[in-house]
Homo-oligomer: A and B are copies of this chain.
Amino acid sequence: MSTKENLSFRQDAASTPPRAFRPHDHDSCVAGAMQAAESLCAESGARLTPVRRRVLEILLEGHRPMGAYDVLARLDAEGLGSKPPVAYRALGFLVDNGLAHRIERLNAFIACPRPTDDNHAPAFLICRGCGSVAEVSATLPGIPKGFRVERTTVEAEGLCAACTDSPE
Chain A interface (Cβ < 8 Å from any Cβ of B)? 9-10, 13-18, 21, 104-105, 123, 125, 127-128, 134, 136-161, 164
B161 touches A140 (CB 8 A): no
* Residues in chain B near residue A158, CB distance under 8 A: 147-151
> Which listed residue, B145, B147, B151, B160, touches A147 by the CB 8 Å rule?
B160
> Which listed residue, B125, B127, B140, touches A156 by the CB 8 Å rule?
B140
The chain B residue with its CB closest to the CB of A11 is B142
Taking the nearest CB of chain B, how far is it from the CB of A108, in angstroms? 12
Copies of this chain assembled into the complex: 2
**Interchain CA distance A15-B144 in the complex, whole Å:** 8
Dominant SS at the A interface? Answer: mixed
Write 13 A-B pairs (CB below 8 A) sorted by A numbering. A13-B142, A17-B144, A17-B147, A104-B104, A137-B142, A139-B141, A143-B156, A147-B158, A147-B161, A148-B158, A148-B159, A150-B159, A153-B157
B128 touches A147 (CB 8 A): no
* Residues in chain B near residue A149, CB distance under 8 A: 125, 156-158
The chain B residue with its CB closest to the CB of A165 is B146
A138 touches B142 (CB 8 A): yes
Taking the nearest CB of chain B, how far is it from the CB of A137, in angstroms? 8
Taking the nearest CB of chain B, how far is it from the CB of A5, in angstroms? 10
Interface centre among A138, A143, A147, A152 (most CB of B within 10 A): A147
B139 touches A18 (CB 8 A): no
The chain B residue with its CB closest to the CB of A161 is B146
**Interchain CA distance A33-B146 in the complex, whole Å:** 26
A104 touches B160 (CB 8 A): no
The chain B residue with its CB closest to the CB of A121 is B156
